[in-house]
Amino acid sequence: MKKVLQMKISNHESNVQILKDVSSNLISTFCGDMFSFALGLMLLHATGMSLSFGLSMIIMPIVTLIGLVPIGNLVDTYRHKHILVISLMVRIIALVIYAITIGHFNGTGKLGPTIIFLAVNYVSVNVSNSGYTASVHELVNTSHIQRLNSLSQAASSFASTFSPVIAASLYVLVGFRSFIIFQLAAHTIALIILVSMHFHYASTPKKELSVSHESQLGKFKLGLQYLMSHKFLRYLICVALFLNFIFAVTNVGLPFIVVQHLHLGNLTLGILNSADAVGMLAGNLIISMAPEIKQLAKILATTMCVIGFALCGIGWLFIADPSMWTVRIIGALMVFSVGMSLAFMNTPFGIYMQKTVPTSLMGRVSSTEMSLNMISIPIGTVFYSFIFQLFPNGFVFIASGILMLGVTGLTMPTFIHTRMPDQDEDVEMEKE
């Protein structure tokens, strides 16, 4: 029997790593969201096509599905810091090339280089997301995983709330090329922070240069086998798929009902969308300050019920033919509760994965989970777009809320006593 020791990460070092990670995530997400918004505006002005703002939503799922097997295997084969640094450098190089070349194209000709850039960018983003998920145990100790996840999610929510407003204001003043500079600066800062972070690897490292004779598909099947053998984890991923499908009712329904059906204006829609992001921000901040989550299934069941009742409430509100201020106030409170509930769904799920899935399989498991979620989003969008054309009223929200409550009531009792793993796997035993 041989012990494979992993250096114990102190609480102080975990806190320093969290500060670095949250700072990097805030800067990257904020500038990234501003750049995406400015890119959409630039393409809209250049091509006049409504597709300009939806280009990312088309390319992202395609790239995610194509990269499902190789990205998961890549993350589980090489040291995570090396992968993250190379991935970010690829993103910087791609952005520099795009900045140099985009000015040589006009009108719809700008779509070609933009599609190529977005494809390369999303491959890099997927590698970074999977690599980051798999490296959490190498950055902080087990007791700090909850704080790391919640604060990182809070940083993303903050950026998503305020970046579009700032981007819309700055675009008129500085133009698209300035946003490229902002994005390059953000990537550079993120790279410097990443290089300064200490990844604690096991004392028996992976052999990066060894050539495996196992096929890419064979390696990936190991991750699928683990996923299929873990009943509660499999259930959580199914819940995530269901949630992404159901939440298309808000992505599609809120703009359609508020602007087109009730004629309450874009400002009302903006308030509701902001309430959702602020709710997620508040939820993650609460989680970051709360004691370590133990009763995982009970928290998930509660939040799913809150989401179901909130969707029903939004539906009744729209049916009641309310005034503009009623929708802005009561509707915002309901959407806020949905956003906060989502934080209490997403963050504990991420923590559970990082505490349960072996580090050697995390890349493949997380890549599978992200790809499945990416598939469910466009399916839900197409479904609810069709439904709202037939039934343009709040009953669709009510039906979705009832469906959410029904699924929770039928499935959650089986797992209601499931707790969050709390063991610290600093020492692993390996048979010689």
pLDDT digits (tens, 9 = 90+) for 302-326: 999 999 999 999 999 998 877 888 8
Domain ranges of the chain: 2-201, 219-420
pLDDT < 70 stretches in the chain: 1-7, 50-54, 202-214, 422-432
CB 35 within 8 A of CB 95: no
Cβ–Cβ under 8 Å, residues 283 and 342: yes
What per-residue confidence (pLDDT) applies to 202?
66
Q: Do domains 2-201 and 219-420 have the same CATH topology?
A: yes
Q: How far apart are CA 220 and CA 71, in angstroms?
A: 10
Give the pLDDT of residue 83: 94
- Alpha carbon distances (Å) from 80 to 129, 130, 192: 11, 9, 16
Q: Which CATH number fits domain 2-201: 3.30.2320.20, 1.20.1250.20, 3.40.50.2000, 3.20.20.70?
A: 1.20.1250.20
Fold of 219-420: Growth Hormone; Chain: A; (1.20.1250)
> Please, is 257 exposed, middle or buried when counting C-beta atoms within 10 Å of its C-beta (0-12, 13-18, 19+)?
buried
Looking at residue 4, its pLDDT comes to 38
Q: What is the pLDDT of residue 3?
A: 38
